[in-house]
Amino acid sequence: MSARGKLIAVIGDEDTCTGFLLGGVGELNKNRKPNFLVVEKETSVAEIEETFKSFLARSDIGIVLINQFIAEMIRHAIDGHLESIPAVLEIPSKEHPYDASKDSILRRARGMFCAEDFR
Amino acid sequence: MVVLELEESSLLLDEKLLRFMDQLELLEEKRAALNSLIEQGWFSMAKARYSMGNKRVSALQYASEIEPLVCVHARTLDNGEVDFCTERSKQKARDEVGKEARSIEDIGPQEEGVRRRNKPKNNIPEKKEGEEASSEKAPEVTPIRKSDQNPQQDPLKWFGILVPQTLKQAQSSFTQVIELSAEIATLQTAILNSRQELKQCRKDKPILQEVSATRLEKLTD
């Protein structure tokens, strides 16, 4: 790959991670930490938040994909991320369909209008 | 003059608002496509799991070393927006080069007919039959090459040599999802940028209105 591009990180349940790894986004070796986290029932919120923040701190990650139900657990951390890179995308999971009203980006975009603006 | 500026500001505000609405509509369309593709991918994976077995399509099958096959390039534009685009590495070309190198060594003429099974290690780099030796040793060399190629191999191979078509379909769906994700990430930054611009324009408009009102009062006086 010319001029080494950035990675796509994934925080999701097993099926989500397996799917995206099948697509070729995964990186796993002894020298660097993996760019994905498989969230299971036993995975703590602290671990998820720590992993999310570590992805934001890495300069080699361009996009972070996260299941929306996991994003809800660390909503405060996602709302606090205001930079353009890495971009955070909330995606549905098998048991939790995508809800636009919960998406951080759309909530920020929606919140700019009030009744007076339309007079 | 101030009245003209006010009119221009209003037109600009309208233009930005329409652009913002268009971007939101486009985002909604892409989101729907993304969700649909992801669901399709899961469905194909479920069918593959049904035919292969539960544990055969799971995190247990991930390779111990993985190299990414797709990366994303982020380019910051002048207006503050970020453009994301994906790039997929040409992993097949590397496999083909490996095969060609091996086939050349296999086809190469043999200088000596005598085969040595247990060669001392010192002799190997010195002799010209080093090429032969490597060709003779091709079966032994292959595992080393395989481990070199492993990190960048097709992830389908983690799940077996002959995988069902449904797993390939799942891979194809998620490949499209990855490309769409880059487009959505670009749109999201554009939407946030438009929001900022709209906010700024709305702040400037009342100031211009006040200035225009005071100047009109002065003129009437």
> In the numeric block, which tokens belong to residue B81?
């927006």
Chain B residues touching A112 at Cβ < 8 A: 195, 198-199
Is the model more confident about A119 or about A13? A13
Strands B70-76, B82-88: pairing kind: antiparallel
Residue percentage of chain B with pLDDT more than 90: 34
* CB atoms A94 and B87 under 8 Å: no
Q: What is the mean pLDDT of chain A?
A: 88
CA B75 to chain centre: 14
Cα–Cα distance between B68 and A28 in angstroms, integer?
8
Please check whether residue B63 touches A, CB under 8 A: yes
Q: According to the model, what pLDDT value does residue A106 have?
A: 84
| A13 pLDDT above the threshold of 90 | yes
DSSP assignment string, A12-31: E-HHHHHHHHHHT---B-SS
- Give residue B143's pLDDT band: very low, low, confident or very high (50, 70, 90): very low
**pLDDT tens digits along B170-181:** 999 999 999 999
Per-residue pLDDT, averaged over A62-81, amounts to: 95
Q: Which helix (H) or strand (E) holds A88?
A: strand A87-91
Q: Could you tell me the pTM of the whole model?
A: 0.77
Residues A104/A94, Cβ–Cβ less than 8 Å? no
Q: According to the model, what pLDDT value does residue A3 have?
A: 57
Cα–Cα distance between B191 and B209 in angstroms, integer?
27
Residue of A nearest to B89 (CA): A1
Per-residue pLDDT, averaged over B36-40, amounts to: 96
Is the model more confident about B1 or about B129? B1
Cα–Cα distance between B32 and B38 in angstroms, integer?
10
**pLDDT tens digits along B68-96:** 999 999 999 888 889 999 998 875 544 44
Residue of B nearest to A84 (CA): B189
Is the model more confident about A18 or about A3? A18
Helices (H), ranges, chain B: 2-52, 91-107, 123-126, 130-136, 138-149, 165-220
Q: Which residues pair with B87 in a beta bridge?
A: B71
Q: According to the model, what pLDDT value does residue B30 have?
A: 96
Residue of A nearest to B175 (CA): A23
* CB atoms A91 and B192 under 8 Å: no
DSSP letter (8 states) at residue A100: G
Cα–Cα distance between B34 and A20 in angstroms, integer?
13
